[in-house]
Amino acid sequence: MSSIPGGVRCCSALVTAMSLPFIGLGAVVDSVRVGALGLPASAVMFVVPVLAAVLLVYRDEGRTAVWALLRRAFDYSAAPHKAWYLAAAGLPVVAAVAAHGIARGFDEADGGVPIALAALPFVVIATWFAATCEELGWTGYATDPLQQRWGPAWTGIALGIYWAVWHLVPLAQVGHEFWWIAGWFAGTVAGRVLIVWLHNVTGHGVLAAILFHAMLNVTAVATPDYDEPIVLIIGGALLTLAATAAACSWRTGRHNHLSLSRP
């Protein structure tokens, strides 16, 4: 692979540096629990990717380009086929339901829904906002320049690894064990490959990435036995299978019509 584009390199360095104070906060402030998901104080670093992207876009292109970047969060018209947005929202739900069902079939899970249904709309709003902040950085700013150098599959894998590593300290701060984190890590990298795929098939918009990311977080809150490593391992395997199918579609030339200029 050729070298990382300069803007993306600056963005990754800036994201890493700006995340350190939040990680420090997570070390001294107790975590909270939302449904099945433990959230350390460091989880508020979801604001960092969009802040880094805005700073770099403003430096390089000015205020007008910043507004263009932010508007991409609402680019519903970008997709030639709107059903892709349903796929973006539905894939994480299908993977989570299947993972819990398989674990339950092996008698490794038997819990009920860990959050009141009345609270779910508030969870959706909060996760949507957090996903928007992250995806304006990961997808809106970084993905297309990386695809120009590396292609979609390697972009998904490389960006997915960075995205997963970025979360490791917060996950450790809430006490997750090795196998839980291993399953989550695999699912997160696969999820990023799928986000790149959805980004491409929806006309290089950001909205599909936001939908997929938000629903990953909603299912983390609402999936029974989400603390059980087996649920994360099975979920990670299912998302990896889906990501492999997406990568195969790139290899055969389908859904790989790149138009990579950033508005």
**pLDDT digit string, tens, across residues 163-192:** 999 999 999 999 999 999 999 999 999 999
How many structural domains are present in the chain? 1
* Residue 202 pLDDT greater than 60, yes or no: yes
In-domain check, residue 260: no
**Residue 194 above 60 pLDDT?**
yes
Q: Is position 262 within any domain?
A: no
What are the angstrom distances between the C-alpha of 223 and each of 95, 120, 137, 181, 185? 11, 12, 27, 16, 17
164 found inside a domain: yes
Q: What's the average model confidence in pLDDT over 220-229? A: 95
CA angle 247, 252, 257 (to 5 degrees): 80
Least confident of 7-16, 154-163, 234-243: 7-16
Confidence of residue 257 (pLDDT cuts 50, 70, 90): very low
In a domain, 151, yes or no: yes
Boundaries of domain holding 112: 6-251
The pair of structure tokens assigned to 127 is 């996760």
Q: Kindly give the residue spans of alpha helices, DSSP state H, lying in the chain.
A: 6-28, 48-61, 63-71, 83-105, 120-137, 144-150, 152-173, 178-201, 207-222, 229-251
Q: Does residue 55 sit within a domain?
A: yes
Tell me whether residue 25 is in a domain: yes
Residue with tokens 């994201």: 15
What mean pLDDT do residues 190-198 have? 97
For 116-164, write each residue's pLDDT tens digit: 989 999 999 999 999 999 999 999 999 999 999 999 999 999 999 999 9
Identify whether 172 is part of a domain: yes
Q: Which pTM value belongs to this model? A: 0.93
- Whether residue 88 lies inside any domain: the answer is yes
The region of weakest confidence among 111-115, 194-198, 235-239, 253-257 is 253-257
Q: How confident is the model at residue 4 (pLDDT cuts 50, 70, 90)?
A: confident
Q: What is the mean pLDDT of residues 74-96?
A: 90
